[in-house]
Structure 1
Amino acid sequence: MFNEVKRLNARLAVRLAIAAGIAVGLVVVTLFVTVTRPKTTPFCAKCHGAIIFNNACKKPSNDIACIECHTHNNRGVAQMAVEIQDEHCTAESCHPLNKLTAQAAQYKKCISFQHKTHVVKLSNNLRLKCTSCHANINGEKHFETDARTCDTCHFINTTKPLYTQNKKPISDCTLCHGHIEKTKDIYGKIFQHETYEKNEKISCSGCHFNTIQGDGRVDKRSCYQCHAEITDYSERVPDMHTIHIEKHKVACTSCHDSLAHGWIKSANSVSGGDHPLQSVATGHKVQELIMMGMGGVGIKGEPDPMCLATLNCSACHQDKQRFAHIEHTVCNDCHGKGFDRILTEQMRFVTSQMRLLRRLLSQAKRRNNADTGQVIHEAEVNYNLVREDGSSGAHN
C-alpha cells in the first residue's frame, strides 16, 4: 500500500511539474511580448488609432517604433513615456545636433532659421527643448512646428526682452523677414517696397501695424489647470522655466496667454484689402474718412496716397497715445529733404481756403433761397468734415 501511494505521488508530482513548467513558460512569453511588442508601432496603434504619424525623420516611417522616441530609462529598464527627451531627437541616426546647427533651415516664407541660436540657454534660465517647438498641435499630424512658441518668445510683452548676438531685440522684423519684392501703382507713381527697406529712418511698423495681438503674459489662474494649490511665482521665473520646459514637456501656451503674430487683412476696397486703417482702433473716424476720400457730399472723393500705401498713423504722429502731435521733419524721412516745407505751404493754403469758405457760407445763408439751399447744405457738410479732421489737408 505504501508503494502504491508513493507511485501516485510521483505521478502527481510529474503532473504538477509539467503544469508549473507550462505556467512559467506562459509568464515568460507574456513578459517577452509585453516588453518587445511596444517596440512596434502597430502595438500602440491598437489603442492610439487616431494618431496620424507623419514621418519627419530620416528613417522610413515603418522603421520608427514608438518606443524609440517615447521612452525613458528607469534603473536601466526602458519604459514607455509621454515626454520625449532631446537625446532621442538628436541621436546620430535621427537629427544629430552637430548637423542641425551646421546649416540653416527654411521655414515658410521667412529667411533661414538657425537651430544653433535656439539650443543654447537664454536669459531667465530659459532653455528650449525640441518638443517646445515641434509638437502635436491639433492631431492632424503627429508633430509639427508650433508657431505659437515662436510668437510667445519673440513678441511677449516683458520688461526684459531677449536680444540677439548683434544686440537686436528678437522682435525685430528683419530677423525673419528678408527682402520683399512688392510694387504698387499709386496715381501713376510706382511704390517700391525695396526703397523703404533700405531707408534706416523708416521702421516696419510705420506701415505694418497691429501685427501682434495679445501680450503673452502669464495669468495666475492658468496654474490651476494642473495645480490644486499655487504659491507666488512672480519672482521665480527662472525656476518656472526649468521645471516646466527643461524638465517636463509643458507647452509655452499652457501658461502664457494667447499671442498671435500676423498682418490682419480686411475687405477695405480703398487700400486693396491690405489691412484696416488704424483709426478703427484709435477712434479717429473722421480722419479715416478723410484719408479714404469719403464722408463728403456732392463731390467724388479720392483716397490719399498715404492711405493707398497703407501708412500707419504712428509713422507720422509720434505721440501714439493721442495721435495729435507731429514733427514736420518726419515727412522728409519718406519723401526727401524739403518736403516738410511743401506740406506746410499746402496746409496754409487749405487753412486760408477754409476761412474764405466760412465767410462765403455765412453770406450765402443770409441770401438763402430755394435754388441754392441744397448747394449751401452740401458745402456746409463738407466744411464741417474738413474742420473736424483738423489736419488742414495733410490727411488728404
Structure 2
Amino acid sequence: MFKIKRIVPSAVETLWRMRWHKKILLLVLLGCLFAGSSIVVTSQPGFCNSCHIMNSYYASWKTSAHSDVSCLDCHLKPGFVGYMRGKINGLSQAVDCAVGRVGTKPNARVLDESCLRAECHSTEKLANQEIDFKGIKFTHEKHVSKVVDGIDISCGTCHNHFEGEEHFTVNTEICFTCHFLKGDEHDSRVTETQCQSCHEVPDKVIEKGLVKINHAEFVSYEASCEDSCHKKIVEQQSNVSENICLNCHNFGKGEEPDSEKLHEIHSEGEKVECFACHGKVVHGQTGVDAVSGMMDCLNCHSDTHDVQYGTYTAEQYQEHKKTDLVLSPMFLTHVECSGCHIDRQSIKSDGIASIGTVAKAVPRACDRCHQKGSGQQYISLWQRKIKELHKQISDKLQNLEDAAKRERNKEKAAKLKDKIKEARTIIRLVESDGSWGVHNFKYTEASLLKAKKIITDAQKD
C-alpha cells in the first residue's frame, strides 16, 4: 500500500516532466488502445443486448439458424468503409441511448451484399430451387432484383423480420400486401397472380358432407377460383388510410408523391414495414359462425340506397355546392340511418322478396333527441311543403313538354327536350328518395328550385 502511494505521485511527476511531443504521442497511443478495445467490445452480440429495446431481437437471434453469425456481419455493409460507417453510426446510437433519446423500436436493414457473400448465400443456387413455403410454391428467381411499383425487391424485403424465436423469418403479410395490392388508376393488381401460381391443384377428391369436390374437373373447365367458391380469399384490400402518414410525419396523405416514388422512399431509404401503411391483409379461408359470414350481400344488392344516401349527404345532384344551405343538420351531427329507422316492418311485396323485415323511420325517433312531438310536427310540415313544390314544378314541366311537342323549330325543340330531361332527372331523384324532404329538407328544396329555374329559363328562350 505504501509502495503504491509512492509510485502514483512519481508517475504523475514523470508524465509532467515529459516533453510535449511525447505527451501527445502517449495520448495517441492510449486513444488507439481505447478505440481498438471499444471496437472489439462493441462488435460482440452481447453488447447489442445491453440496450433493453434489443432484448427480444437478441433472444430470437440466439435461437435462430444465424446464431453463429455476428450481428455486424449482417447489419453492416461488407468492406472497410461500410464497417467504419456502421461504427460511427453505432456511436451516435450509443450516445442517444445514454441520454435517453432512444426509440422503442429499432430500425435496421440488411443489405443484399451481406446476404450474398461467397461464404453465405448464393443467388444462383437459390434461383433454381423451388421451395414449399407453408404449402405455397415459391422461387427466388421470380422475386430477386425485380422492381414492383417502385419497390426494389431485395432479400430484406421479405426476410427482414422476426417472430418469436425466428430471426430473418418471412412474414406472409408481406406476400399478401404485394400480391393483392391494387393500383391507384385502375382496379387491376400491381402484381398479377393466379391461384395456381402459388397453389397446387388438389390431386384427390375432397368430401364435404354429401358433396364431393374434384378440383381437377373444375380446372379442366377453366373455371375461375376467385369468382366462384373462393371468392372471399382476401379479407381486406391493401388500401392506405388517409391519416396513416401522421403516425410518422406532420402532414397527411395529401402531400404524398406518386405511389412508385413513395415506395422507393420508404423501402430504400428506411426500413418501413409494408403493413405499417397498408395494414394487415388476411388471405385464405377463415372460420365463420353463420351462413351470413360467408356472404357479401353487396355483391348483388348494390346501389340500393344510393339516392337516399346522396340526398342525405347533399351529393346526389352534383351542381350543388356543399354549403350550410344544403347540408342537413342531422348529417352534420353524424346521425346515422339507424338513428331514425328504428322500427321493423314486413316487406310489402310479392314472392321471396316479402320474406324478412326492413327498418322503418318513425316520427317518435326524433323524440329521442328533441322535444316530444317535434318529429310529428316537423315531418308533416316538411313533407307538405316539398309535395306542394313538387306538384307546382311538375305542372310547369308538363306545360313545357306540351310546348316542346308544338314547337315547329327543330333546333329549338331539341334544346327544350334537353332542358326537360335535366329538370325531370332532378324531379325523379326527389321522387325516388321517397322521404319528401325528411332526409334533407334544405337540399331537396334547393334541388326542386333548381329544376324550376331550368324550366323557367327554357320558357323564356
Tell me if both proteins adopt one fold, taking TM over 0.5 as the criterion: yes
Equivalent in the alignment of 2:352: 388
Equivalent in the alignment of 2:43: 39
Structure 1 residue 92 displacement after superposition: 1.9
Equivalent in the alignment of 1:327: none
Supply the distance in 2 between the matched residues of 1:267 and 1:195 (Cα, whole angstroms).
30
Contact 2:182–2:190 under 8 Å retained in 1:
no
Supply the distance in 2 between the matched residues of 1:190 and 1:247 (Cα, whole angstroms).
52
Task: Find the residue that maps to 1:105 and give its secondary structure.
Answer: strand
Structure 1 residue 98 displacement after superposition: 2.2
Structure 1 residue 261 displacement after superposition: 1.0
**How has the CA–CA distance of structure 1 residues 56 and 88 changed in structure 2, closer, same or farther, with 3 Å as cutoff?**
farther
**How has the CA–CA distance of structure 1 residues 147 and 233 changed in structure 2, closer, same or farther, with 3 Å as cutoff?**
farther
The alignment yields a C-alpha RMSD, in angstroms, of 3.9
Structure 1 residue 198 displacement after superposition: 2.8
Equivalent in the alignment of 1:282: 297
Supply the distance in 2 between the matched residues of 1:56 and 1:205 (Cα, whole angstroms).
43
- Which structure has more RCO (C-alpha within 8 Å, separation ≥ 6)? 1
Structure 1 residue 195 displacement after superposition: 2.1
Equivalent in the alignment of 2:171: 146
1:183 equivalent among 206, 214, 217: 206
Contact 2:234–2:282 under 8 Å retained in 1:
yes
Contact 1:133–1:149 under 8 Å retained in 2:
yes
1:133 equivalent among 158, 162, 169: 158
Equivalent in the alignment of 1:65: 70
Structure 1 residue 107 displacement after superposition: 0.5
Structure 1 residue 146 displacement after superposition: 1.3
**Deviations for 1:159-192, whole angstroms, at most 9, x for unmatched residues?**
264577xxxx22x2111111223421654x6432
Structure 1 residue 83 displacement after superposition: 2.2
Structure 1 residue 88 displacement after superposition: 0.9
Equivalent in the alignment of 2:370: none
State the TM-score, normalized to the length of structure 1: 0.57
Structure 1 residue 212 displacement after superposition: 0.8
- State yes or no: 1:207 paired with 2:229: yes
**How has the CA–CA distance of structure 1 residues 263 and 10 changed in structure 2, closer, same or farther, with 3 Å as cutoff?**
closer
Contact 2:116–2:123 under 8 Å retained in 1:
yes
Equivalent in the alignment of 2:55: 49
Aligned residues: 272
- State yes or no: 1:236 paired with 2:258: yes
Supply the distance in 1 between the matched residues of 2:12 and 2:219 (Cα, whole angstroms).
95
Contact 2:182–2:238 under 8 Å retained in 1:
yes
Equivalence map 1:1-396=2 (5 Å): 12-13=13-14, 16-17=17-18, 24-47=28-51, 48-51=54-57, 52-54=59-61, 61-62=67-68, 64-72=69-77, 77-80=84-87, 82-111=108-137, 113-138=138-163, 140-158=165-183, 159=186, 161=188, 169-170=192-193, 172-180=194-202, 181-184=204-207, 186-187=209-210, 190-229=212-251, 232-233=254-255, 236-267=258-289, 276=291, 280-282=295-297, 321=302, 387-388=351-352
Structure 1 residue 23 displacement after superposition: 5.5
**Deviations for 1:335-384, whole angstroms, at most 9, x for unmatched residues?**
xxxxxxxxxxxxxxxxxxxxxxxxxxxxxxxxxxxxxxxxxxxxxxxxx9
Supply the distance in 2 between the matched residues of 1:77 and 1:32 (Cα, whole angstroms).
12
**Deviations for 1:85-144, whole angstroms, at most 9, x for unmatched residues?**
121122222222222213222211112x11121123334333123222113355543331
Structure 1 residue 388 displacement after superposition: 2.1
**How has the CA–CA distance of structure 1 residues 196 and 222 changed in structure 2, closer, same or farther, with 3 Å as cutoff?**
same
- Aligned sequence identity (%): 22
Structure 1 residue 246 displacement after superposition: 2.4
**How has the CA–CA distance of structure 1 residues 203 and 230 changed in structure 2, closer, same or farther, with 3 Å as cutoff?**
closer
**How has the CA–CA distance of structure 1 residues 134 and 197 changed in structure 2, closer, same or farther, with 3 Å as cutoff?**
same
Task: Find the residue that maps to 1:197 and give its secondary structure.
Answer: helix
Structure 1 residue 210 displacement after superposition: 1.9
Any unmatched runs of 5+ in structure 2? 1-9, 90-107, 305-347, 356-461
Contact 1:123–1:162 under 8 Å retained in 2:
no
Any unmatched runs of 5+ in structure 1? 1-8, 269-275, 284-313, 324-383, 392-396
Supply the distance in 2 between the matched residues of 1:281 and 1:202 (Cα, whole angstroms).
18
**Deviations for 1:207-259, whole angstroms, at most 9, x for unmatched residues?**
12322112211223211222224674565222112111123221111222332
Supply the distance in 1 between the matched residues of 2:142 and 2:295 (Cα, whole angstroms).
38
Supply the distance in 1 between the matched residues of 2:31 and 2:229 (Cα, whole angstroms).
71
**How has the CA–CA distance of structure 1 residues 216 and 162 changed in structure 2, closer, same or farther, with 3 Å as cutoff?**
closer
The answer to which structure has the higher helix fraction is 2
Structure 1 residue 387 displacement after superposition: 4.3
Contact 2:45–2:71 under 8 Å retained in 1:
yes
Letter in 2 for 1:214: Q
Contact 2:149–2:263 under 8 Å retained in 1:
yes
Structure 1 residue 279 displacement after superposition: 6.4
Equivalent in the alignment of 1:309: none
Letter in 2 for 1:115: H
Supply the distance in 1 between the matched residues of 2:55 and 2:226 (Cα, whole angstroms).
47
Supply the distance in 2 between the matched residues of 1:115 and 1:94 (Cα, whole angstroms).
16
Equivalent in the alignment of 1:296: none
